[in-house]
Amino acid sequence: MVPKLTPLRDIGRDYGVYAGSPYRSGIIAPLTPYPDKTTPPVLAAVTPNTGPAAGGTPVTISGIGFTGATAVTFGGTAATAVVVVDANTITCTAPAKAAGTYDVRVTSPTGTSTVQTGAADNYIYT
């Protein structure tokens, strides 16, 4: 039986290989879950993703690999009141920036999140 996957909690999780028969019957031997100790954080959503240029908006960041995160930046400017809620959630306060769209990045001991090609890591200042 293949486990049902849910967003964020199971993103990239490796449930292991089937032991025994090559026809996928038998016991599942779990492997180490992804991300491992060398994987940088990955952002899945920034909520809300818009706020005033004056900053001060409370923001929740969802993703994976946030354990031990040391910084959150909005277009290179540090967020304030950063709290790592758990491995998948960070809360912070957006800093002041000029109007425009900026990438949100999380830094942890395993590295800094990469800039994504979609809007998942974008924050729009109005």
Instruction: Check whether residue 23 and residue 45 sit in a common domain.
Output: no
Domain span at residue 20? Answer: 1-34
Which whole number is the average pLDDT over 18-34? 52
Q: How is residue 119 annotated by DSSP?
A: S
28 versus 107: which is more confidently predicted? Answer: 107
Q: Kindly state the tokens that stand for 108.
A: 């942890």
Residues 48 and 101 grouped into a single domain:
yes
Tens digit of each residue's pLDDT (9 = 90 or more) over 69-106: 999 999 999 999 999 999 999 999 999 999 999 999 99
Contact 83, 91 (CB under 8 A): yes
CB–CB of 110/90 below 8 Å? no
Q: Are 51 and 101 contained in the same domain? A: yes
d(CA 73, CA 61): 11
Same domain, 59 and 119: yes
% residues pLDDT > 70 (the chain): 71
The model's pTM is 0.71
* Cβ-based burial of 64 (10 A; exposed 0-12, middle 13-18, buried ≥19): buried
Model confidence pLDDT, tens digit, residues 33-64: 555 567 899 999 999 999 999 999 999 999 99
Which of the residue ranges 11-15, 52-56, 114-118 would you say has the lowest mean pLDDT?
A: 11-15
Identify whether residues 3 and 42 lie together within a single domain: no
- Tell me if residue 93 falls in helix, strand or coil: strand
The answer to whether residues 102 and 118 belong to one domain is yes
Q: How many domains does the chain have?
A: 2
pLDDT at 22: 54
Whether residue 57 sits in one domain with residue 93: yes
**Residue 6: pLDDT above 80?**
no
Q: Taking 50 as the threshold, does the pLDDT of residue 119 lie above it?
A: yes
CATH number, position 108: 2.60.40.10
